[in-house]
Amino acid sequence: MTTPPVCSYEGSDYQTRFWEQGDRAYEDRVEAIALRRLLPPGGARLLELGAGAGRNTPRYAGFEHVVLVDYSRSQLEQAQQRLGAGPRFTFVAADIYRLPFAPAAFPAATMIRTLHHMADPQAALRQVRGSLASGGLFVLEFANKRNLKSIARWLLRRQAWSPFDSAPVEFAELNFDFHPRAIDEWLQTSGFASERRLTVSHYRLPLLKRLLPLSVLVGMDSLAQWTGDLWQLTPSVFVRARAIGADAPSAPGALWRCPACAALNLRQHLDGVDCLGCRRTWPLRDGIYDFRDPAADTGPRL
């Protein structure tokens, strides 16, 4: 199956370089507030898409089972080191365009700082909807092209693309900003109903970070987030959506679906998962299930 290219973080020190050494404490704190406001305090099973090194996973402490998905195996290895072993976490290397999960396998899902790498965001959102049960909760974060900085640059003729155009803008290879109106339309056509929006990172400016204490910046952002249903002018927007419509048939409690042939007749064992449809084995190595196609073109590496 041909799928869009995937932006791979394989071998990247992104967690250390960007988050721990990149002066991103403000962004991390305000994203945690948005997640807490949009997610229920707990549940049975949660799907974390684009989990990376597990930065957000401890924030899902109320969920009994968290399935972490990332294309990069090395990122999942870092998540293992952060979270430890145990039955509460399942680590899955997979392509967002071919998720290996049975229909309606999850009552909740998150995708934070991930959609902006999607060349075909609608296809990715359809995959997420297929994995969620009807009525399931989906928290999505997206990079907003209609933010105050891009509006100012456009008015000053310092950028060619309009922040008011609903088309995505690819400012670097497989790095996209999206218009809020387009996100709403894609969610709706993918089988979601949007419930609430929070605007995040209102004060993402180096000067403000130097002048104001972190606690003050976080407090100001926490208050401003509630304006998200009125307008979206920040670089980051969080959306809480609900899966609507009927689910595809699936065995109760089933987790896996073959990403190659879409069969639901799979057998899990100590070495991985066997598809009884196409006779393919998806391996389990060092605690990480690998459902990636080794022949796929993954696109750029970061």
> Quick one: CA torsion of 297, 102, 34, 150, rounded to 10 degrees?
30
Q: How confident is the model at residue 156 (pLDDT cuts 50, 70, 90)?
A: very high
pLDDT of residue 1: 57
For residue range 74-119, what is the model confidence (pLDDT) as tens digits?
Answer: 999 999 999 997 899 999 999 999 999 999 999 999 999 999 999 9
pLDDT number for residue 248: 86
Token pair recorded at residue 96: 């967002």
* Average pLDDT estimate for 197-217: 97
- Which backbone phi and psi does 102 adopt, to 5 degrees? -65, 155
Positive or negative, the CA dihedral 149, 125, 229, 32 is: negative
Which H helix or E strand runs over 210? Answer: helix 206-211
User: 14-253+284-290 belongs to which homologous superfamily?
Assistant: Vaccinia Virus protein VP39 (3.40.50.150)
Predicted pLDDT of residue 252 = 81
pLDDT score for 86: 85
Angle, vertex CA 184, rays to CA 180 and CA 187, nearest 5: 135
240-250 mean pLDDT:
93
